[in-house]
Structure 1
Amino acid sequence: MTTTVDSVGLVIRVTNTGTPPEWQLTPVVSIGPKSLTDAASPDEFGSVPSAALGPNGALFVGDNLNHEVRVFGLDGAHRRTFGRFGEGPGEFSGLYSVAWVGDRLLTLDFGVGRIGEFSAEGAWLGQREVPGGLTGSPAQLRFFPVGVDEAFAAGLRTGPAGLESVFVGHDSRGVTGDTLTYVRSPASAGSTIICRYDGGMSLFDVPFRARLVQHPGPGGVMYVALSDAYRIAVIRGDADTLRVIERALPAEPVSDEEWAAANQAFEAFRADYPNASCDPRRPGRPDGKPFIAALFVAPDGRLWVEVVRTAGNRWELFDAEGQLLASLPVRPQREHAAPAFGPEHMVTIRRDSLDLDHVDVWRIDPGGR
């Protein structure tokens, strides 16, 4: 593996080629029920959108259905539970995300319209206002931890064109003053097929189409990539590019079987509604698969990139300067539930065949030790 660094003007370009070291995600503990029981136990979750690693081996699990935060050790032992349904101090009505920031746990509750602050023991420390009544995917309406005492929260603000989605910076003391807007791209045009029929309308995503992937970073920067190229830009403001991280990786074609499977819902709709008017008429097949499925900036400053591969998606791990450190296998995880990262551990959430949620803790093992 080779990493080269050069610059064009004031932009630093980091290019990574070759095969990185193979690291492993070694199972530590899986917390979740083997079956449904009449007597609910702490590891029988209702719905888990988010989990966070805290001090002293604490794992905080937000349960949006039961309106609770359950705390476990890395041995899987239940330590405590706090919270209940309501709008008073320490209560929840729409718990979307949890994050350990500095010396406290922050909880993002769009039902009440606040960020709650708790001690590690679950004591109520205060609150911060956020927009109330928001609904959507926990993959977007969540905290984005980017430092040991820095996280961004999804939010809204009024801009020149009306309401716009933003990332609002927080630390253990309050709002940091960093507010980042989503980067927009013309690549999003044509990524959705709109079909109108009999007074109704249906939407279909175009499979394998390039999309913009982004994540806030420490100090008010944004990591942004167009998924059809393995090129990640670190930007500040609207157009100030600070660094570009590139990875030489061969493109992979979309097979006929994969294309047919990905378009099953659209083709079934066309068969049921042959007179529907669709724009575009049919999905355009791309030349190859996208490279990047997701980006995450961990609190220790490392960049995690989920890379799309036919043989199975991989994590590729970069240091804060953009040097490729390792490749790791992606473990099963629930759609729309973001992983949590620590210096030595990763936490993923998955849903089993019985629709039961499990929280899995993995040790990050360099060299597969």
Structure 2
Amino acid sequence: MRDLPGQVGAGGLALIVVTALAGCGTSAREGDDSVLHVDTLRGGRILVTNPDPFETPPPRPQLRPPALVEDLRIGSVDDPCSSFGEAFSIAVDDEDRIYVADLQSSEIRVFSPEGACLRTFGGAGDGPGEFSWLAGIAWQRPGLLWAMDAIKLRLTVFDSLGNALETHRFGHPMGASLPWPMWVAADTTLHISNPGAGTIEKYGSGPGLTVLGAFRKPTVEYDYYAPSARTSGDGRVTLQELSTVPHSPEIVFTVDHEGEVWLANQAAFDLHEVSYAGDTVRTVRLRRPPPSLEGRERDSLAAATGLDARRLPEYKTVLEAVNVGADGWIWVTGDERTIEAWDVFNANGVYQGVVVPPVPIERKPFPVYGAGTITGVTRGELDVEYVVRLRVVR
């Protein structure tokens, strides 16, 4: 791995200034931090550097971010199928059917693109197709649904009708992810986070579990008196202290529709596209400095955690998670319990602005970012859960 996370080597820059700014309406000038730049770094990595319109003095880039419109809502307080105990994971198939893994019942509910309940399968138990803790699901073309049991560390493969086809032992006993991150790329490869091994593992088309590769995730070495993490010479970082201190950064990750891994250090707004071989293909940067942690907020956090205020980071984390849609658009969330807004980039890494959903979306279960849609969970009155589909209007 090279130049990760959040730091870019300065040597060997070949500066290419982009004059067409995808609707920003600003002409580029070399060295001007208020315009978009695309740089080719040593080794061929592309660095896309975006100005932050909220940090840029006037005249600021004029952005036209897309809008989100709710076009489907599934949920009920009395219907057995659409009354969710706890929607824990979501998947969407090629026909836009929606699969919801319910934690309390250990069931998988299947809904039509119009929201009608089609079928329910799974359930609590030890037998084939049953779960002790239904922690994650993912759809794989042409017709397979993968489901993870976090207690048994077992993957079950279902067909589109809910018939259990195969089960596979997965992972190491000392790690679990709740919910469990799983992705399927356009080439139908299945990608699963293995927290016990500290890897993201790639498998071929099911229902077998053929290993095609593994990507070792970096971890954070954090200096509490500095705004960012540090890396060793080979681009890898080691864990110095696993801390519950607020705003201690982590390396967050996702897998995109092309099967590439995206990494980001929560302390820096640098998003890195990395191959399974460990080569950084592209970095998308937003010139947004992390906000300072100071004053009453700093004192309050010190009192709440029982720590000396001097041990707290000087800066807050600048992002919480990064996700990439099936169309290549990048959606970045902040540090909130629910998603109130996204910072959004198009497939070329050009910043589009802040996109606000019509309803708050829960960060967990992980929303499904499709090509022009986002499917996630919101909460209504009496804390009732609803699965909603938001359509992107550009």
The TM tier, using the shorter chain, reads 0.7 to 0.9
Change (3 A) 1:76 1:260: farther
Match of 2:202?
Answer: 169
Identify the match of residue 86 of structure 2 among 12, 26, 47: 47
Work out whether 1:244 is the aligned partner of 2:283. yes
Aligned mates of 1:337, 1:130 — CA distance in 2: 21
Match of 2:49?
Answer: 15
TM-score by length of 2: 0.72
TM-score by length of 1: 0.76
CA-CA distance at 1:164 after TM superposition: 2.6
CA-CA distance at 1:285 after TM superposition: 4.9
Corresponding letter in the other structure for 1:31:
I
Deviates more, 1:96-105 or 1:12-21: 12-21
How many residues were matched structurally?
330
CA-CA distance at 1:96 after TM superposition: 0.7
Q: Report if the CA contact (8 A) 1:28-1:74 is conserved.
A: no
Work out whether 1:297 is the aligned partner of 2:285. no
Match of 1:56?
Answer: 95
Aligned mates of 1:135, 1:333 — CA distance in 2: 27
Match of 1:362?
Answer: 390
Corresponding letter in the other structure for 1:303:
I
Structure 2 stretches lacking a partner, 5+ long: 1-23, 25-34, 52-60, 227-241
Report 1:86-105 matches (<5 A): 86-103=125-142, 104-105=144-145
CA-CA distance at 1:211 after TM superposition: 3.2
Q: Deviations along 1:43-91, whole A, 9 cap, x unmatched?
A: 1112221011113220000012212110112322211111222233322
Q: Report if the CA contact (8 A) 1:292-1:305 is conserved.
A: yes
CA-CA distance at 1:229 after TM superposition: 2.0
CA-CA distance at 1:149 after TM superposition: 2.0
Report 1:124-203 matches (<5 A): 124-131=164-171, 136-139=176-179, 141-147=180-186, 149-155=188-194, 164-173=197-206, 174-187=209-222
Aligned mates of 1:150, 1:299 — CA distance in 2: 14
Aligned mates of 2:308, 2:294 — CA distance in 1: 21
Report 1:235-274 matches (<5 A): 235-236=274-275, 240-249=279-288, 251-254=290-293, 256=295, 258-259=297-298, 262=301, 265-266=304-305, 270=306
CA-CA distance at 1:144 after TM superposition: 3.3
CA-CA distance at 1:338 after TM superposition: 1.1
Change (3 A) 1:82 1:313: closer
CA-CA distance at 1:205 after TM superposition: 2.7
Identical positions, percent = 23
Corresponding letter in the other structure for 1:107:
A
Aligned mates of 1:101, 1:313 — CA distance in 2: 30
Change (3 A) 1:53 1:166: same
SS of structure 1 residue aligned to 2:371: coil
CA-CA distance at 1:130 after TM superposition: 0.9
Aligned mates of 1:91, 1:170 — CA distance in 2: 23
CA-CA distance at 1:315 after TM superposition: 1.5
Deviates more, 1:54-63 or 1:322-331: 322-331
Structure 1 stretches lacking a partner, 5+ long: 157-162, 192-202, 271-279
